[in-house]
Amino acid sequence: MNDYYEILGVPRTATQEEIKRAYRKLARKLHPDVAGPEAEEQFKEVGRAYEVLSNPEKRQMYDLGGESALGGNGGTGAGFGFSDIFETFFGAATGATRGPAPRGRRGQDALIRLEIDLRDAVFGVEEEIQVETAVLCGTCNGTCTRPGTSVQTCAVCGGRGSVQRVARSFLGNVMTTSPCSACGGHGTTIPDPCPECSGQGRVRTRRSIPVSVPAGVDTGNRIKLTGSGEVGPGGGPPGDLYVELRVRPHPVFARRGDDLYARVEVPMTAAALGTVLHLDTFDGPQEIDIAPGTQPEEVITLPGLGVGRLNGHGRGDLKVEVDVEVPTALDDRQRELLAELAALRGEEHAEPRLAPAANGVFSRLRDKFAGR
C-alpha cells in the first residue's frame, strides 16, 4: 500500500502549508519537462498523494483506513482528480497541438411542420414545402473569398492555428498553447472576403423542397430529409431537415391505428327490414348491406379500405357503425301502424329483458375505461 506521507516526505502531523510546500518542491523536481518522461509515473504519484492529503476529509479517511477507505482508487473518483490538478498547473501544454481548426462547420438541423389531409395519410402524397434557410454562396461557392482571390496563411501562427507562450508558475517556466487570435485558430486569414456572403460562405434564401409523405403516417411522425438543413458556416456541410406532420381531422372518418371508422344513421324500419346504403369513401362509393334486424351500434367491416400500413404492406379496414333512428314525431296513421305491429308481436306491454353483461352498454363502458 502506498504511504502518501512518505511519498511527499512529510510526517503524519504535517500542516496543510507543509504539505503544499513539499508538493511544490517535488512537482518542480519531477515534472516531465524537467526530469524527462521517465519521471512521469513518480510525478503522478506525488499528485495523487497531494490530492488526498490536501483535502481534510480525504486525509481523515486515509488516516483511518488507508487507500481502501477512499474506495480503492486513491481518492481520484471524488470529483477532483489528478488530471484536474495537472491541467490546472500546465493547461494546454500537457497535450499535443491539434493543428488548425477547419473553417467550414456542419450546419444546424431544422424543423418544419406540415399539415396534410386524412386522405394523404391513407394513400401517401408528394408535397412541396417552402423553407427559409442558409444555402451555399453561389458567388464564392463556399470558399468565403472574393472570386479570383484565396485565403492566406496566417502570418502570426504560420498556419498552425495556435501559438505557444512561456508562462511563469511556481513550477518554473511552462510552455502553454492557445488558439491564434489573429486567425481564430484556422491557420488562414481572408484578406478579401466574398462581397455576396461577407466571408461566411453561405447566404439565406427561400427555396422549395420536395417531401415524399408515405402512407400510414400520423400526427407527430417526423420525416428526415438528410442534408436538407442549413449549410454550415464557412461553406460547411448542411444539417438535416425534419418535417413534423399533423393530420387534419376529417368530417366523416376517424382513425384508430390503421383502421378508419364512420357512423351511418338508418331509419328503424330500414334496420328491421334490411336495406343497401351507399357511402362515399376514399376509394369511391361503396355499398353497405344492412341486414334485416341490424341492431344499434352494430359494426359492419369493409376490409382493406383503411389506412395504408406505415413501413408495411396492405391497408387497415373501414368499420361502419350503424346508428338506428327511432322516430320521435308520429302522426296518427303512423302511430296506428306501430300499435298494430306491437300487437302482432305481443309487445303492447313490453317487459324489460336483461341483456347478458358481455353485450350491454355498461360492459362497453367498462372495456373503454379498462383500455380494451
Please name every residue paired with 208 in a beta bridge, in sequence order, or none if there are none: 130
Q: DSSP for 97-131? A: ---PPPS--PPPPEEEEEEE-HHHHHH-EEEEEEE
Which residues, 6+ apart, have CB-to-CB distance to 331 below 8 Å? none
The CATH architecture one would assign to domain 110-134+199-247 is Sandwich (2.60)
Please name every residue paired with 319 in a beta bridge, in sequence order, or none if there are none: 261, 301
- Sequence ranges of the domains in the chain: 4-94, 110-134+199-247, 152-189, 254-369
**Mean pLDDT value across the chain:** 84
Amino acid at 2: N
Whether the pLDDT of residue 69 is over 70: the answer is: no
Comparing CA positions, the residue from 370, 244, 355 lying closest to residue 295 is 355
pLDDT tens digits along 24-36: 888 888 877 677 7
pLDDT tens digits along 275-306: 999 999 999 999 999 999 999 999 999 999 99
Specify the fold of 254-369: HSP40/DNAj peptide-binding domain (2.60.260)
Mean pLDDT over 29-53 rounds to 83
Give the burial class of 100: count Cβ atoms within 10 A of its Cβ; 0-12 exposed, 13-18 middle, 19 or more buried.
Answer: buried
Between 224 and 359, name the one with better pLDDT. 224
Q: Do domains 4-94 and 254-369 have the same CATH topology?
A: no
Specify the fold of 4-94: Helix Hairpins (1.10.287)
Q: Which of the residue ranges 77-91, 170-184, 327-341 would you say has the lowest mean pLDDT?
A: 77-91
Mean pLDDT over 348-355 rounds to 68
Give pLDDT, residue 122: 96
Give the burial class of 78: count Cβ atoms within 10 A of its Cβ; 0-12 exposed, 13-18 middle, 19 or more buried.
Answer: middle
pLDDT tens digits along 132-143: 999 999 999 999
Where do we find the cell 376509394?
283
Residue 260's CB is within 10 A of a number of other CB atoms, namely 25
Determine the 3-state secondary structure of 281 from DSSP. Answer: strand
Give pLDDT, residue 75: 45
Mean pLDDT over 54-72 rounds to 76
pTM over 0.75: no
Please name every residue paired with 308 in a beta bridge, in sequence order, or none if there are none: 315
Whether the pLDDT of residue 90 is over 50: the answer is: no
Query: Radius of gyration over alpha carbons of the chain, in Å?
Result: 40
Q: How far apart are CA 231 and CA 229, in angstroms?
A: 7
Q: C-alpha angle 66/2/22, rounded to 5°?
A: 100
pLDDT tens digits along 159-212: 999 988 776 665 566 677 889 989 989 999 999 999 999 999 999 999 999 999
Give pLDDT, residue 367: 53
Q: How far apart are CA 229 and CA 112, in angstroms?
A: 10
Q: How far apart are CA 324 and CA 274, in angstroms?
A: 12
